[in-house]
Structure 1
Amino acid sequence: MAVEVSVIATSSLGDRSYLASDGQVAIVVDPQRDIDRVTYLAGAEGVRITYVVETHVHNDYVSGGLELARVTGARYLVAAADEVGFDRVPVSDGDVVPVSDGVRLRVIATPGHTFHHLSYVLDEAVDGGWQPVGVFTGGSLLFGTTGRTDLLGGRHAHELAQHQHASAARLADLLPDGTQVWPTHGFGSFCSASQADAPESTIGREKQANPVLRLAAEQFVTETLAGLDAYPAYYAHMGVANTAGPAPVDLTPVTRADPAELRQRIAAGQWVVDLRHRTAYATAHLTGTVSLGLDGPMSTWLGWLIDRGTPITLLAGTPEQVADAQRELVRIGIDRPAAHATGTPEQWTTEPTQLRELRMTDFPALAAVRAGNTPAGPPAPDVVLDVRMTNEWNTGHITGAVHIPLPDLPARLADVPAGTIWVHCGSGYRATAAASLLANTGRHVVVINDTFDQAEAAGLEIVTET
């Protein structure tokens, strides 16, 4: 039977894990911490997991590799050069790992994303020889880009970018053009220098499309480093957890909070997070809560915004949504929320005055106000606040807007000029989170719940930064 590779996508973090099998035994590559998804898939395919492999010590999520190996009895392959606090099978460049009579893995050192990064070539037995089917590239060669090289500190970024270029060239030289490329990052993860430009790829396609294989080393290094934006603050804790050896997860329900407890937690300055869609939040929510809907990358932004260890309470319409949020949070090492409540805002308080609305508008309304028209709607803005990331701002922003990236806002609330604030991002998701933070300080704020690509079409002047 030919080797089959299944993708296990974690879209909220922008990553992929893989299960590759020959119909009997399976390899799992870079598993997320909630390993039940992997074991379910292996069971559905009727295969036994015999190897779990890590391409690198991950920076954007807590790995499930150690626990998956323990549960399944699989051998756990981790770079020999990585000093870790648990038993594993150490592997290095040039090692060949026989998986079954018809499948093997070849280990290739591909430093760049980290110093000890490995890629794994999946070979299939064909006519008495071996033929590469694909290569698991982790944070090395991605679809149209590469993994970022500054996660181990700025002092290493230039050297690692040079390694990244050499590693990509090595893969391109070693492998036939038809070899499939299976990266872990690039699908929204901040571990990627930029985002994937295709849903799938091969070595041959990357030779044509990927800057790392088209640019000279120094040009690649210069352009890559110049294009890097900030990355989530919680990344600082991921490598530490993965090196020490992550504990098993506990996804059992957490304590239910009644209205009195919710009021106390909000009064104490704890994070009470409303997981409903932003339009539902705008209609009615508890004063003092923060909007981070499950329809977006909730865990990424929450993990970036809060101080590590801050108690978190989750509000949602259903228990299933709370369970989904718990699953998202354990992936970044937030293991047990303090409490939860489900239902509607009216059920979360006994004091109607604790309920609040949030006004929403769009870019045509902003253009109309700036043109001197005053259509019925929210009060005109004194401040237009852009909470997108710096790269987004530099690419194009509304003239006269104030820029504070969402991750910086909690520490810079006092920097927002006085008056009514209209806040926007790229879609409305981050803007609503920002608006909730601002409203909690007593500011009068309106969300531009619109996609930024509509701003210029609405008649707003867009300028760029160089």
Structure 2
Amino acid sequence: MIVEFQGAPESTHAIQFATPSLGDQSYLIVSGNDGALIDPQLDIDRFEKWLAETGTVLRWVLETHVHNDYVSGGKVLAERHGAAYVLPIGSDVTFDHSPIRDGDSLPVGLCAIRAMHTPGHTPHHMSYVLESPGTAGAGAGALAVFSGGSMLVGAVGRSDLLGPELTEQLARAQYRSVNRMVNELPDPTIVGPTHGAGSFCSTSPAADTTTSTIALEKTRNPALTAIDEDSFVSEQLSGYALFPSYYAHMGPLNREGNASAEPISLPELTPHQITDAATTAIVIDLRRGGIFAAGHIPGSVNVPMSVDAGAYIGWALPWKTELVLLSDRPADIEDIRVQLHRIGVRSIVGVVDDGLKKWLAEGRPVTSYRTATFREMAEESPSTIVDARDPLESRISALPHTVNIHFSRIAEELAHVGPGTVWVHCQSGYRAAIAASLLARADREVVLVDDDFANRAD
């Protein structure tokens, strides 16, 4: 998507690269023939394709912060294109880079990019203000602010990713950072955050739009509509949902800077090879929950194909688990490879792209379990029901006689699951499908409630 700026010099705009699997956006600022890329992911081909097709010369690669939700492609891109790799001062990385401080300005074509220290999502977080010629540092010449995980569209970046000891301090810093932006930047300034709708780095569901303006955020951003700092912080601290377990590995990978941008090979496995691989690997079945329930390879885990299935795979299984990817649609395999590549998962040992065709043709065993609706669950009144949603969701709308075990904690909380057949539900059936397959893998009898929570009988 091309982002135009009111009053910008000719040939100055930004290209927004959406990454739906993460709920993120990257931005290539173009002014004349010069380019500056902000917060790129590890699947760098899409950025390089645009640079090659337009003849844009990459001068700067900038990170708003050391990312906790994906592996950056910034270092690789900077090295390949001879660009400076710019990180906020204090980022504590182990490789050579160009540190940037609050107020520093970088030329890009006919404009300048000014760093604005906006701690809150992380301590060293920087936002980058694109300014018109001759107005650097003046504020009034701001065309856009690329706000990373600070000011989002109708939300702010969460402040709890670095541990409880920093959470309140960072939440207070976030309040001050967002207020600093609106105090220093004019109302028409475009706001281009990295984290957006679908990102687990947001404190609340961000709006479906991916950009905003300072004027709009004054009317809806929680850091700007709260009565005061204390009320904002209180609201934030009470509203943090769980975040993916693989986040713990993203920061260290980004500080090391050794991630490879090269795609891994995906050997296609025979049924015999699947059986051999399954001694150490887990088969990830990407088919829909109901189809999986009707028949699947014993011990496999169901993560239905979706725009963010890769994140759920990284969340549901221990880090570095060896994986066999199975789908009945070849395109899904490549999509998931890219999604997993973005979060540093390279432990795919093989793939199956024709579903169970070859497996069944050889007469190999499959297993199954029942699916049901909320109405059927109400009619049968089972004694053991697992709510696989986030604790915040369950707290608001829990059904009677259920135990809340988030889908990602099934293995570690198996002892808390009651006896007999386990009925599993969530909000839409997606997380329940993952949880049901994990319970079945642990030899529990399960029923998947493959239904929308709106259909429940209160």
Return the TM-score normalized by structure 2.
0.92
**Structure 1 residues 433 and 281 mapped into 2: Cα distance closer, same or farther (>3 Å)?**
same
Question: Deviation at 1:2?
Answer: 4.5
* Match in the other structure for 1:160: 170
Is residue 115 from structure 1 mapped to residue 127 from structure 2 by the alignment? no
Is residue 106 from structure 1 mapped to residue 118 from structure 2 by the alignment? no
Question: 1:358-369 maps to which residues of 2 (within 5 A)?
Answer: 358-369=369-380
Question: Deviation at 1:441?
Answer: 2.4
Of 261, 270, 274, which aligns to 1:258? 270
* Match in the other structure for 1:288: 299
Bigger Cα displacement from structure 2, 182-191 vs 234-243: 182-191
Conserved in 2, the CA contact under 8 Å of 1:387 and 1:405?
yes
* Match in the other structure for 2:46: 37
Q: CA RMSD in A?
A: 2.0
Is residue 125 from structure 1 mapped to residue 133 from structure 2 by the alignment? yes
| Number of residues of Structure 1 aligned to a counterpart in Structure 2 | 445
Of 72, 77, 102, which aligns to 1:63? 72
**Structure 1 residues 256 and 437 mapped into 2: Cα distance closer, same or farther (>3 Å)?**
same
Amino acid aligned to 1:426: Q
Conserved in 1, the CA contact under 8 Å of 2:127 and 2:148?
yes
* Match in the other structure for 1:376: none
Conserved in 2, the CA contact under 8 Å of 1:345 and 1:355?
no
* Match in the other structure for 2:219: 208
Q: Which runs of 5+ in 1 are unaligned?
A: 371-380, 462-466
Is residue 47 from structure 1 mapped to residue 59 from structure 2 by the alignment? no
CA distance in structure 2 between the partners assigned to 1:209 and 1:127 by the alignment:
28
1:134-173 deviation line (CA, Å, top 9, x unaligned): 1000011111111111111100111111111111111110
SS at match of 2:78: helix
* Match in the other structure for 2:351: 340
Identity %: 38
Bigger Cα displacement from structure 2, 50-59 vs 187-196: 187-196
Question: Deviation at 1:45?
Answer: 3.8
Conserved in 1, the CA contact under 8 Å of 2:71 and 2:253?
yes
SS at match of 2:291: helix
1:345-393 deviation line (CA, Å, top 9, x unaligned): 13135664521233222223334445xxxxxxxxxx3322210001111
Is residue 191 from structure 1 mapped to residue 201 from structure 2 by the alignment? yes
Question: Deviation at 1:427?
Answer: 1.1
CA distance in structure 2 between the partners assigned to 1:208 and 1:127 by the alignment:
27
CA distance in structure 1 between the partners assigned to 2:185 and 2:70 by the alignment:
29
**Structure 1 residues 43 and 356 mapped into 2: Cα distance closer, same or farther (>3 Å)?**
same
Of 315, 335, 341, which aligns to 1:330? 341
* Match in the other structure for 1:139: 149
SS at match of 1:27: strand
Conserved in 2, the CA contact under 8 Å of 1:23 and 1:46?
no
Question: Deviation at 1:318?
Answer: 4.1
SS at match of 2:141: strand
Question: Deviation at 1:97?
Answer: 0.7
Amino acid aligned to 1:103: C
* Match in the other structure for 1:316: 327
CA distance in structure 2 between the partners assigned to 1:361 and 1:269 by the alignment:
32
CA distance in structure 2 between the partners assigned to 1:354 and 1:282 by the alignment:
14
Question: Deviation at 1:286?
Answer: 0.9
Q: Which runs of 5+ in 2 are unaligned?
A: 1-9
SS at match of 1:263: helix
CA distance in structure 1 between the partners assigned to 2:293 and 2:25 by the alignment:
33
CA distance in structure 2 between the partners assigned to 1:403 and 1:353 by the alignment:
35
CA distance in structure 2 between the partners assigned to 1:42 and 1:364 by the alignment:
54
CA distance in structure 2 between the partners assigned to 1:249 and 1:407 by the alignment:
28
SS at match of 2:371: strand
Runs of 4+ deviating beyond 3 Å:
43-46, 125-130, 349-353, 367-370
CA distance in structure 1 between the partners assigned to 2:32 and 2:356 by the alignment:
50
**Structure 1 residues 253 and 3 mapped into 2: Cα distance closer, same or farther (>3 Å)?**
same
Bigger Cα displacement from structure 2, 335-344 vs 398-407: 335-344
* Match in the other structure for 1:407: 408
